[in-house]
Amino acid sequence: MYLPDFDYYAPPDLSEACRLLREFGSRAKILAGGTDLLHKMKHEEFTPEVIISLKNLSALREIRSEPGQDLLIGALATQNEIANSSLLQEKYRSISEAAWNMANNQIRHMGTIGGNIVNAVPSADLPPILIVLGARITLVSTEGERTVPLEEFFLGVHKTVIRDDEILTQVIVPAQTTTGSTYIRFGLRKSGALAIAGVAVAVTMEGEICRSARIVLAAAAPLPLRARQAEQVIVGQRVTPGLLEQAGLAAAQESRPRSSIRGSTEYRRDLIRVLTRRALHKAIQKEHI
């Protein structure tokens, strides 16, 4: 299967990338790891006239944070770089674990965090954990830059608030006050299978009392879904096994999963119930984020 013809640019810096994107607008597509874009082009789901590769923008690969400051993950950081980052393993283990458990080694080697976000598919594994940790993203164009809470970025399947002339440059994760977070997912195989359902959780515990909780579901709606009713079940309460089961039921009820070849609506709802209970239990046990 061959790629259709296109013009190819690999600009040396971000300002030239933005200028090219401004010039070609909706006729162009940004190329990051290419794991999704090239597949879609081969199947002619996308036929861009121009490809703008970000491969020379090495500054967008950085993962860094100063003590007590926000964590900055460059949009071109690959899933393997996120999984293997000692900074993330030490301070934001739930993000590195989410990256480690997705896709397969070949895809993780090429696929970037920026592509995983902009692609905007409901089963994407990184947005849920980033949303529960309160992440924001930076979008840059020739007109300047803006910061958008990741929770407000998604509008539906392949639909986001990014404009044709904007490039996602970094993900900003605030320094955490949560006491535990995790993302767990269920796929049909251990490697290389998209999530049939996934649940990300961040909690703040004070003894046995849950002071705050954020729960975001993957593959449960056309976009990453905040399970607010499930959150309300546990916030302010002493956590018991029965309460976690109730929260799981609430998450299942508020989810809107589709039926597909990988799983029916009813099956996905039941997975969401179980995964929510397990994710809450795991996050509450954790003494790190």
Name the site residues for ligand FAD (rule: CB under 6 A): 29-37, 39, 75, 102-103, 107, 110-112, 114-116, 118-119, 124-125, 167-168, 192, 194
Closest residue to bound ligand FAD by CB: 115
> Cβ 186 to ligand FAD, closest distance in Å?
11
Please give the full DSSP string across 203-251, using - where no structure is assigned. EEEETTEEEEEEEEEESSSSS-EE-HHHHHHHTTSB--HHHHHHHHHHH
Q: How far is the CB of 275 from ligand FAD (least distance, A)?
A: 15
Nearest to ligand FAD of 92, 210 (CB atom): 92
Matching residue, tokens 């874009």: 37
- Rounded to 5 degrees, φ, ψ at 63 are -125, 115
Are the beta carbons of 53 and 96 closer than 8 angstroms?
A: no
**Structure tokens given for 18:** 């933005």
**Contacts with 22 (C-beta within 8 Å, 6 or more apart), sequence order:** 141, 142, 165
Of the pair 197, 205, the CB lying nearest ligand FAD is at 197
- CA dist., res. 145 & res. 166, Å (int): 9
Nearer to ligand FAD, 41 or 247 (CB): 41
Name the minimum Å distance from CB 44 to ligand FAD.
Answer: 14
Tell me the CA distances in angstroms from 150 to 85, 91, 229, 261, one per residue in order. 22, 20, 20, 29
**Nearer residue to ligand FAD within complex by CB, 39 or 64:** 39
Query: Which of residues 185 and 269 has its CB atom nearest to ligand FAD in the complex?
Result: 185
